[in-house]
Amino acid sequence: MPGNATTIPTYTGTIPPVDNSLLYHIAVGLISGIGNTLAKRLIAYCGSAEAVLREKKSTLQKIPGIGDMLAQEISEQQVLQRAEKECAFLAKNNFSALCYSDEQYPQRLAQCEDGPVVLFVNGTIDFNQAKVLSIVGTRHATPYGIAQCETIVAQLAKRGHAPVIISGLAYGIDICAHKAALQNNLPTVAVMATGLDEIYPSLHYATAKKITTQGGALVTDFLSNTKPDRQNFIQRNRIIAGLADATLVVESGEKGGSLITAGLALSYNRDVLAVPGRTDDACSKGCNALIRSNRAALVETVADIEYALGWELNAKEKTRQLPLFVSLTAEEQTIANVLKEQPSITIDTLYHATKIPMARLSALLFTMEMNNILRTLPGKRYELK
């Protein structure tokens, strides 16, 4: 990609002791020919990331998706030294890393089959907050698109929702979304197409710094010294889509990264929203096409987002009580307790919070709805009545 990047000096000193679990997770991700989905399958079959690197070729060949050539590649890998250097870089700069099995790993991203094995983080933020919204759009934003983005973010804050705003730190709508979140004291997360040692584009360095100092974070699944190549931006879009409940597209041409992100969100069974534009405006053709094909809900005002996602006005201040004389089973009470703390959440979030098997959870939710205990909201969410 064209443009400049601001570089943070990399660590070149003695490698300190590191967390072995993190070390081996990073190392597995470095094996040539192993993507995130297959890496997680390997770890599950072998029992741990370390076991993957110590397993015999004959055993690896028996794992679904691993042939002779890939088994040979895994058994002959030389990736630990590079993984050690990355761990040293993280320690030197006080950055963190979340493995996909960690409790702090974003729950929404964990639900995505191709979610990163390791997510590198600069900043401190709870990724598992009740409301998370991705905002994406064209790099060539018009005054109309910028105004729409700023107004939507400001109104979300004014109406008491306080969602985490996710975007990609790029020119146009992305940086507008980050700045609007910061101006309205909302946490925001920038998903990067480089390692944490570079800020791309360099013009957004000041904003990136504010993000990390105002309760947000910079995140990536790329190692340090990774340059902002074009394909990296496509890869990082899956994280933008996967971190959020929904993706809002504000201005997009007929093609581009925003539509790729929207498509990824749909593949993850997440909501997609779009701001319409003039029929003759090239920067709105993508949004209009999403709406016309029923792949995105139309957003003219914040009320449309509230309706689509089931975000009630001042939901934090609303006290929820179960109907009188309702007798709940132990499992139903567990579900009700989660919904008291996290109103308007998806079945996937309920599954992770309750640990009830998905088939059983679906049946319980249906029974509770029939018994007038909870209701289903737009956006495939649930709340207590």
Q: What does 220-278 look like in DSSP terms, one character per residue?
A: ESSPTT----HHHHHHHHHHHHHTSSEEEEES--SSSHHHHHHHHHHHTT-EEEEE---
Calpha distance 143→173 (Å, rounded): 10
Tens digits of per-residue pLDDT, 30-60? 888 888 998 998 898 888 888 888 888 888 8
pLDDT band at 385 (very low <50, low <70, confident <90, very high): confident
pLDDT band at 14 (very low <50, low <70, confident <90, very high): very low
Per-residue confidence (pLDDT) for residue 325, from 0 to 100: 45
Residue 18 near residue 84, CB atoms below 8 Å: yes
298 and 340 housed in the same domain: no
Per-residue confidence (pLDDT) for residue 264, from 0 to 100: 96
Query: How crowded is residue 33: how many other Cβ atoms within 10 Å of its Cβ?
Result: 11
Residue 103 lies in a domain: no
Tens digits of per-residue pLDDT, 205-259? 999 999 999 999 999 999 999 998 988 999 999 999 999 999 999 999 888 889 9
The CATH number of the domain where 161 resides is what?
Answer: 3.40.50.450
Per-residue confidence (pLDDT) for residue 5, from 0 to 100: 58
Tens digits of per-residue pLDDT, 87-144? 999 999 999 999 998 888 999 999 899 999 999 999 989 999 989 999 999 999 999 9
Q: Which domain holds residue 363?
A: 319-384
Residue 314 lies in a domain: no
Find tokens 């390997």 and name the residue: 42
Residue 245 lies in a domain: yes
Tell me the mean pLDDT in the region 337-347: 82
Among candidate residues 156, 204, 212, 159, the one with its CA nearest the CA of residue 180: 156
Mean pLDDT of the chain, nearest integer:
87
265 and 353 housed in the same domain: no
Query: Residue 353: what residue type?
Result: A
The CATH number of the domain where 72 resides is what?
Answer: 1.10.150.20
Residue 38 near residue 131, CB atoms below 8 Å: no
Residue 127 near residue 96, CB atoms below 8 Å: no
How many structural domains are present in the chain? Answer: 3
Residue 101 lies in a domain: no
174 and 144 housed in the same domain: yes
